[in-house]
Amino acid sequence: MRRLHIGTSARIIGVLVILGIAVFPLYWMFVTSLTSNQALFGSSAQMFPDLTRLGTYGEALSGNVLRWLMNSTIIAAGTCLLTAVLALPFAYALSRFRFRWKSIIVIGLFLTQMLPEALLVVPLFALFRILDLLNSLVGLILVCTAFVLPIVVFILKGAIDGIPRELEESARIDGCRPFGILTRIYLPLIAPTIAATAVISFFSGWNEYVFAVTFAFDPAMQPMSVGLASFIGELSTPVQTVMAVAVMYTLPAVAFYLFAQKYVVSGMTAGAVKG
């Protein structure tokens, strides 16, 4: 009994230590954003936030920060939605259908992951200029979707491969069409995987920088990643403002991750109970 108590205490302490390591960077950004210049460059570190300096966040919001946050949210949500809409039927087709050039398509998807973003900036810039997609959130959503789509397709394909084909055959006997099979049978079964891929595609759009800084010239059309970098100057950098904006940039992403994680865990638990 005593060994069990010690083991439980050790696990709790381990979880708390890991949680502290994960949360500490966000806490330190918050503390730094509320630290005066004198304390910031002093001989000892300030470990607790000075709540009397919360006006720093009001000063940070006086510019385009809210616009940048909205742009990042639109890009991330658009990438997440468009990726899911395109990846689901794509993964279903690769998993369950036999058609010509299937192997070439799979190899092509793999090859897209070998090309770095910096290599495609110039040709995509020329293409987007022809299509009038520069300085456009739609253009950034499309380019983010293009890069994350192969990853999501392979993840969803693996999830569909693990579902017995007998379920689909039974549905076909009952007269269910492929679209109905995908939405009524496969979609509920791979819901946890869809939630996991939603996190991947969301963060792909939320953290986009290379194409955003190249394709978006107007500050009103830039996402938060580009706007945050604009605070870093050649001669001086407002550290407190940068940290305040970084906190506001991080919290929505953390909130979305916690929200999606709930569905991943609940979906896995439901599947285990049904099994």
Query: Domain range for residue 19?
Result: 1-53
The CATH number covering residue 96 comes to: 1.10.3720.10
Quick check: is 58 in a domain?
no
**pLDDT on residue 232:** 78
Does one domain contain both 1 and 112? no
**pLDDT on residue 2:** 55
Quick check: is 121 in a domain?
yes
Does one domain contain both 1 and 99? no
Quick check: is 26 in a domain?
yes
Q: Please tell me the total count of domains within the chain.
A: 2
**pLDDT on residue 3:** 58
Contacts of 153 (CB under 8 A, 6+ apart): 87, 90, 91, 94, 109
Quick check: is 264 in a domain?
yes
Quick check: is 134 in a domain?
yes
Contacts of 247 (CB under 8 A, 6+ apart): 26, 29, 30, 33
Tally: H helices and E strands in the chain = 14, 0
Residue pLDDT tens, the chain, 275 long: 555 566 677 788 887 888 888 888 888 888 888 887 777 777 777 788 888 788 888 878 877 889 999 999 999 999 999 999 999 999 988 888 887 888 888 888 888 878 788 888 989 999 999 999 999 999 999 999 999 999 999 999 888 888 888 888 888 887 888 788 888 888 888 888 888 899 999 999 999 999 999 998 888 899 999 988 888 775 667 888 888 888 889 888 888 888 887 776 654 544 444 43
Does one domain contain both 159 and 23? no
**pLDDT on residue 270:** 45
**pLDDT on residue 275:** 39
Longest dimension (CA), the chain: 76
Does one domain contain both 27 and 137? no
Q: What H or E segment, with its residue span, contains residue 236?
A: none
Q: Which of 53, 71, 93 is the last residue of a domain?
A: 53
Does one domain contain both 101 and 129? yes
Quick check: is 88 in a domain?
yes
Does one domain contain both 109 and 80? yes
What tokens does 162 get?
Answer: 């693990």
Quick check: is 10 in a domain?
yes
Residue type, 160: I
* Number of Cβ atoms within 10 Å of the Cβ of 272: 8
Query: What does the alpha-carbon distance between residue 180 and residue 186 come to, in Å, rounded to a whole number?
Result: 9
Does one domain contain both 148 and 231? yes
Query: What does the alpha-carbon distance between residue 230 and residue 237 come to, in Å, rounded to a whole number?
Result: 10
Does one domain contain both 212 and 247? yes
Does one domain contain both 153 and 122? yes
Does one domain contain both 40 and 92? no
Strand ranges inside the chain, DSSP E: none
Cα–Cα nearest to 135, from 194, 219, 198: 219
Does one domain contain both 148 and 205? yes
**Full-prediction pTM beyond 0.95?**
no
Quick check: is 158 in a domain?
yes
Does one domain contain both 130 and 30? no
Cα–Cα nearest to 177, from 89, 102, 103: 89
Query: What does the alpha-carbon distance between residue 218 and residue 225 come to, in Å, rounded to a whole number?
Result: 14
